[in-house]
Structure 1
Amino acid sequence: MNLHLSAQDVPRCDLCENALASSHSDFCFINLCRPCIGEHIGDEYTKHKVVPFNQRKSTVIYPMCTTHESQRCEFQCNECHIFVCSLCVSSDTHNGHTFSNLFEIYKFKKEITEKDKCELENIICPTYEAIITEIESGVAKIDGEYEHLSAAVIKCGEELRKEIEIAVEKLNGDIEEMRTKHIDVLQKHLEEIKKTRSDIQKSLETLREVTESNDVALVVEFKSRNKEFFRLPQKVEVTGPKFDPKAIDRQQLNQVIGTLLPLSPRSVEHGYTLKMPAKCLQDDPELIGAIDTGSRKLYSVTCYSDVNIWICGRYSTMKCFDNQGSLIKSVETKSGEWPCDVAVTNDGDMIYSDWATGKINMIENGQEKEIIYLEEWDPQNLCVTSSGDLLVTMSSVEEWEEGGDEEDSDEEMIQCKIVRYSLTDAKEKQTIQFDDKGNPLFSGNRYSKYICENKNYDICVADSEAGEVVVVNEAGNLRFRYRGHPSAARNQQYQPKDSSTKINTFNPIGITTDSQSQILTADCPNHLIHILDKDGHFLRLIDNCDLYSPFDLFVDKNDILHVTEYNIGKVKKVKYLE
């Protein structure tokens, strides 16, 4: 047996093919024993990188510069969108251009690919396996169901003897045809699901290659398909035929035998659901960290990754922090006024709404651009959906009386709505404003209405002025309203001495959802956070984590709750799921 090729053998040197490999050449992808290292690095190539074998693939391999052949690229030109080396940066070709550190992009994309791999392994693949099992089980049961149906027809035929033999044969023929069509419909659906599963498995193989690769170009140029796979196919439900026997009447033989209701395949939107790993609420939520933003009047937080936590407040600067609370970058609004909200796209680009200009702007590759402009509406809060659309809450623009302010304005004339936009072309796709009776879904005022999308595609809105959480389905139809819970008394930790100032009224502001499709909303004046299930049933309160004036909420990919404290300027992190 060739020990060098044995699957059970330890790795051996690729040069001498006998000695055990103690080192690895990261650029050449060659295993080396100690004596062969000198031979390997003794060629004319001067940039070998030999590391201990257990540290193989640890070296970041930058792409070679196409302009300066001896140089490796460590930057990306934000204007030309190409990899460049340090010589290119100082050349006239890129004069006046801005550059991004390729290693930072590499780390960022590595996080994305690792997240995609985990989603495919733990959520998407198991879901599709369950769907296929369900369909295969349905196909396996069809013969038995149709045999039972056929037996009922045969029994009726025996009772009518020879007079109904022709009709019985016709009905059995119809049954056989329907059975074939039934199987064909489900088999076609099954093949489509299997094809998607095959695409997922291929994507997972690619992701595994990418996550294990230290090839920068391969990682940076990788395009994720997880958003496509997260949109589960429509579920095909086939209503089988029913046999309806009739009393014997020779004058109407066909009707006497009975009729078969036709086969009725149909597609059911969201008939399948993702198999999310189950998590339970902790008995005692715990405060596990805090970020001091250095800014008071803090009202918005959103997370894209552990190193990309954006916040904004009643000031013109939007800030991005890492998980340890270190400031990464700051961005000023174009208008110089405070933004209404910040959000992050599925590609990691920051978006903010500017009430002063009626615009929604995006920071992409370090450059700011306008994506939506509203003339007759004030843009307020933002939510990027799982499909990549943008949901915007907005209020109508009304002229105020001269010398008046927001509190003195006539709010009865103000209208509020949600508009869904495509982030690809900024086109309006949907408006959500009224219920099925033509009544407004949301209260008419200028106060922000925080918004988020649940895992079941419901749209959840915290309507502070109305004192309720409003939840509509993907089509914009009202599902339920939550108006608080009797157990949600004002947090005694912050109970004022003057009992006349006690506030027990439910006053939801920030809102978010987690991997379990649970809805969390901040009851700011009562210093509480309410947790509901996806159908609006109260589960519990978070009232023991030293939260003062919790304003906005965001649950990250690890189900860690981020809470902004408006008057203190901190973002606190709470672990509430086991």
Structure 2
Amino acid sequence: MSEPSDEQAAMQHHLVCGTEDCQKNGQFYCNACHRPLCEQCRDEHLKSPKTKAHEIVLYRHRKQQLPVKKCELHPTRNVDMFCRECQIPLCSKCSTMTEHHTHTFDDLEEIYAEKYAAWQGEFSKIQKYFLPTSLGLKTDIEEDATKIKKIMESIRTSMKAEAESLKNLVDEVTSENIKHTHTMEKSLLEMLKSQGTTYDDYMAYLENMSDEFQKYLSITNQKLLFSKTLKIQVIPETTKPVLPVFNAGRFNKDDIIKLLGRVNVPNTKPEKRKIQPMEAVTTHMKSTEKQLEQSKEKSDMKQTLSLSSSVTKVREYSVPGVGNAFHVSVDKSGRLWISDSQGNLVQTDLQGNLLQKIQTSGGNGYHTATQDGDLIYIDKHKKVIYRITPDKKITEFIKTGDWTPLSVHSSRINGDLLVGMIIIGESKVTRYSKAGKEIQNIQRDNQGQYLYRQPHYITENINGDICTSYFGNRAVVVVNKSGQHRFSYTGQGSGFYPYGICTDVLGHILVCYDSFIGSAVHLLDQDGGFLSVILSPQGITFPRGVCVDDENNLYVGQYKTNTVTVYKYLQ
């Protein structure tokens, strides 16, 4: 995993105000003093005559501080200026030297901030364009390899079938030829037998003639003189049989190839893989960034929000039609979708009245509400993702092929669908566009190790991070938008079994879990730092499903009851 940035490091253990003895959340930043400030200290900072002219911004909009470097000519001074004419950095005392008397100077920190922003922009291109695009191309190659294997196996099967067919034809023709030889042999033998009979009859005739001749030869010559001369019949003629000849087939290997066919690669110029131009991606990025900015602006409007010292129960109601509340989704109208462990999925209004109910294949985090007001849910047995529109029409949306879908989340940033899926021995997270086109697969970390084991619940944070949980993995796994592993949260003690997970408008991660000492809901910052326990074992039993609505209400569903409880934890 890559080294955390300064911002990540600063937020890893919660941003603390830089004012001495103040431990409040440092959500603002003084660019002059280079330190975080809470809201109260910011106000005091702006009132003080010494610091009222300082530029104070939100922490994430802060100016990067110039790295400290001592001047070689004046070791007690820091390099903080840049001479335009000499094109060198120097300290303020150097600027008073004769050789710089008429020169123009720039604030080195301003230059550093501009350079930092430029490099940050290039880094952003790598993260948002080059890496995802390369990953997409690699995925295309892997898919082509799988396709090639399937095609070649199909060709081999066809070849075997063709060969078997030819063998059957050869056997059939050979059998007919052999049968024909038996017929020919029988006919020829019968003809020869008939000829033999002819000569048998003729030889019998000759025997009779011999007897007659002997009779005449044994009498007196006088009688022989007056008898009729006996004539011998000519020898009957017969024909020799025309001997059959086997005309061997004239064929060679090429003839067999012509009969059976041959595999060839078409003489076609290979088509180049389509690389989406950065301009198009940049446009999409700008659109996404605009949505992020709107989300940030919405967050800015709520900068006064902070963790409450206590969690307040807003309302509680029993959900009809379900045995428990395993997963909860809130649509844009504020209506709830709740599912239980038996596959019942119901929609209720804000008062808990049943609006519709459908039977599904069940699961854990298998449904999500979209920004368009639809509900997306999974049928893990059919390996299909369905869409329910506000008019209650159910349509087949995406088929996941050989992969079994487990969890789904509709992005509030751009409407993409994030789907956790499994196949024998493997797990992954797949990103689909709003139109249902597969655009990204996340499966391994930078070291080639598998990231997931059956991601049962999935959500997305305001910074684009993808967060998954699975009680069998005993960890919350978080990757950035490009699919690079950022951190894994394994709880604050032994026996951490995470279930439902969601995020809020401030980028907090909320995860409910069971452990050996009870159940609770933990609150983390967006970099995985533990902040607090929202609901303790005394406040809730077997929490499973969690979600936060647009009013920052926390909905919690439980395993042992069909009750959904709503809390306020921000103030």
TM-score normalised by length of structure 2: 0.49
